[in-house]
Structure 1
Amino acid sequence: MLGKWVGMLILVSLVVPMAHGATPSECKTEKNNLINNCRPVIFGSNPSAGCCQNVRDAHIECVCPYIGPKTALVVRDVGVPRVIKLIEGCGRSVPRNYKCGSITTPP
């Protein structure tokens, strides 16, 4: 189960929040789209256009609740700088010292 979420969480756990909130239905759709479109990233692939679009559209409140200690360890193993580079490559900015679940970005 953890592996299924990792692709999505790696790419959107550190993104800047969107201006408006998401409904539970929107969050479910976003999670499913991210899992389906961003899974190859866990295996070292660059994010596809579809994955990047999902990263740009993601609502932080849909993702941060799922960033627990186990997922944070996986993200740290992949490398937070790599994750930040991927997110920024998709057109989202990553603030310094930003806390999302069990992950805090570097200062």
Structure 2
Amino acid sequence: MASLVTRLVLAMVVIAGTLMFGNVRVSAQCGGSIPQLVAQCSQFVKKEGPKIPPSPGCCSAVKAANVPCVCTLVTPAIEKLISMEKVVYVARTCGVTVKPGTKCGSYTVPPKRLV
């Protein structure tokens, strides 16, 4: 049952991301491939569940994209499906700098915590 729910959530995230970010001009504007970013990383940024370290494929897609640019494209509809906090976590885990104060949808990126 949980597997079916997980698949449904992932499908919704991929469909929403593809509909909103599938435009070639958007991909060119922000670097990388937005559909590839959605396909590789959606499971790591969904609202439900804990933070999970991203896969190498996700990190490759994140490194190819301009994360601050992608953040400017986040709408309230996307925020209902995707955790912006996890987006920042994934980017930073992949070694991409996301400066504190950057707006990602309605989310403001906090300073990086020292562990």
TM-score over 0.5 for the alignment? yes
| Greater relative CO, 1 or 2 (CA 8 Å, sep 6+) | 1
Shift of 1:50: 1.2
Question: If you compute each CA radius of gyration, which structure gives the higher value, 1 or 2?
Answer: 2
Structure holding more helix per residue: 1
Q: Does 1:3 align with 2:6?
A: no
Q: Does 1:50 align with 2:60?
A: no
Instruction: Give the RMSD, CA atoms, in angstroms.
Output: 3.3
Report the TM-score, using the length of structure 2 for normalisation.
Answer: 0.54
Q: How many residues align?
A: 88
**Long gaps (5+) in structure 2:** 1-10, 18-23
**Long gaps (5+) in structure 1:** 7-22
Structure 1 residue ranges (4+ consecutive) displaced by more than 6 angstroms after TM superposition: none
Q: Distance in 1 between matches of 2:88 and 2:31?
A: 24
Q: Distance in 2 between matches of 1:70 and 1:56?
A: 24
- Deviation per CA, 1:53-82: give whole Å up to 9, x if none: 11011024752343112333544xx472x4
Which residue is equivalent to 1:31? 34
Report the TM-score, using the length of structure 1 for normalisation.
Answer: 0.57
